Amino acid sequence: MAPPLQPVRGTRDLIGEDAARHAHVLETARRVTALYGFNEWQTPIFEDTKVFSRTLGETSDVVTKEMYTFEDRGGDSVTLRPEGTAGVCRALITAGLTQTLPQKVFYAGPMFRYERPQKGRYRQFHQIGVELLGPATPLADAEVIAAGWQILNDLGIAASVELHINTLGDTESRNNYRAALVAYFSEHAESLSAESKTRLEKNPLRILDSKDEGDQKLVAHAPLIHDHLSQAAAEFYNGLKSTLTAFGVPFTENPRIVRGLDYYNHTAFEFVTTALGAQGTVLAGGRYDGLVEQMGGPSVPGVGWAAGIERLSMLIAAPEILHRPAAIIPMNEEYHGTALNILKSLRDIGIAAEIAYAGNAKKRLERANKSGAKFAVLVGEDIKLKNLADGSQQDVLFSDLPGLLRS
């Protein structure tokens, strides 16, 4: 006998409680983002490889090491999406929506990265995210952050996460900061890792993201962007902080949050937790005013965030199963037809109901108890409604059954 087939490394099945947690995160995000005026978009799971290589940076780890890229049968290079923002921005352009702004977008779905699987991280993983395209004001940044905060709050995990914010400044600020970083790291070039030596020439801000222990020691004493902000950038950042305060969203300033690519500017933020070990970021994002233009569209400001559903699912309590079907049980074969009529009638008016496919009344009751059903409808000469939690039962008229099951 051939060995049983297994899921591919870094993937997993969503079954039972895992599926319920996943659905609860998704349903909560959909509900909250709708309150904030976001509309759901769905973009393809795979795109032209340039959609990601151009936006994530040709030398980034995602592009060089983690993307699932292949040639299709027509010889075109396509990539399974590693993140959601690039696809949304591409869709904005191809749908001709760059002149119809603002666009407030919510998305959800699977993403793919070839990386070492670890706690809460998979090669096929799922994200929720929002993008607010058009406005270039601190209010827009604060609103997307507030939407993320409310999702975490409604999931019951706001007390275990902390919002960290920073500013990346405008172009003038970043140029000044880049020069300061080059001067600082050049003095310590001998102590940099090989990868950071390359970054020093191409993109010194990415040294601040280095995981190398030697690099981190140098980063701890590196210049801070707050010392190099233009007046306009400082005013934008102050506007963000005052608006978050008005929204009642608590935050901590963290000057070490950075984004390496040039189209990122102003706001960068992360919701972090200590409940998941070292990999503590559960929702992160920022402002990316140059991204749409880099993809071939006009200049369209943007701000957004993404969050991993798997990691959020690990933090939430197991959701209660709200829609447990009533079990319809014919007391013997004589009442099977009547039971089917009741089953159909309940479903027709939106009440969840199930019937066992075989077995006598006793076995069907046992299955109903194991299934988690709250009630059994016993169909004989009379109809009885049995409470499976406490064993009590009562005679009912069919006309009263829907109201009793709903209550």
Say which CATH number the domain at 152 has. 3.30.930.10
pLDDT mean across residues, the chain? 91
Asked whether residue 202 is assigned to any structural domain, the reply reads no
Asked whether residue 6 is assigned to any structural domain, the reply reads no
Asked whether residue 51 is assigned to any structural domain, the reply reads yes
Q: Are residues 246 and 333 in the same domain?
A: no
Model pTM score: 0.88
Burial class (CB in 10 A: 0-12, 13-18, 19+), 16: exposed
pLDDT in tens, 150-171: 999 999 999 999 999 999 999 8
Q: Are residues 52 and 101 in the same domain?
A: yes
Q: Are residues 240 and 341 in the same domain?
A: no
Q: Are residues 262 and 115 in the same domain?
A: yes
Give which of 29, 38, 27 is closest to 303, Cα–Cα.
Answer: 38
- 58 pLDDT band (50/70/90 cuts)? low
Q: Are residues 291 and 391 in the same domain?
A: no
Residue 379 sits in a domain whose CATH number is 3.40.50.800
Strands (DSSP E) found in 150-261: 162-167, 252-253
Q: Are residues 296 and 380 in the same domain?
A: no
CB atoms within 10 A of CB 365: 19
Which residues have CB under 8 Å from 303's CB, separation 6+? Answer: 131, 132, 140, 141, 144, 267, 285, 286, 287, 288
Which residues have CB under 8 Å from 97's CB, separation 6+? Answer: 91, 103
Asked whether residue 178 is assigned to any structural domain, the reply reads no
Q: Are residues 100 and 245 in the same domain?
A: yes
Assigned token pair, 63: 């592009």
Percentage, residues of the chain above pLDDT 90: 62
Q: Are residues 72 and 141 in the same domain?
A: yes
Give the separation between CA 79 and CA 87, rounded to whole angstroms.
11
Q: Are residues 340 and 387 in the same domain?
A: yes
What's the mean pLDDT in 380-385? 92
Q: Are residues 155 and 57 in the same domain?
A: yes
Q: Which residue has the tokens 């102590």?
A: 191
Per-residue pLDDT at 138 exceeds 60: yes
Element (H, E) at 131: strand 124-133
Quick one: pLDDT at residue 253?
96
The three-class DSSP label of residue 121 is strand
CB atoms within 10 A of CB 346: 21
What's the mean pLDDT in 232-236? 96
Q: Are residues 400 and 251 in the same domain?
A: no
Number of domains the chain contains: 2
Among 266, 283, 315, the domain boundary falls at 315
Domain carrying residue 365: 326-406
Give which of 140, 166, 163, 139 is closest to 151, Cα–Cα.
Answer: 163
Among 289, 315, 341, the domain boundary falls at 315
Give which of 125, 119, 122 is closest to 9, Cα–Cα.
Answer: 122
pLDDT in tens, 319-363: 765 567 899 999 999 999 999 999 999 999 998 899 988 889 889
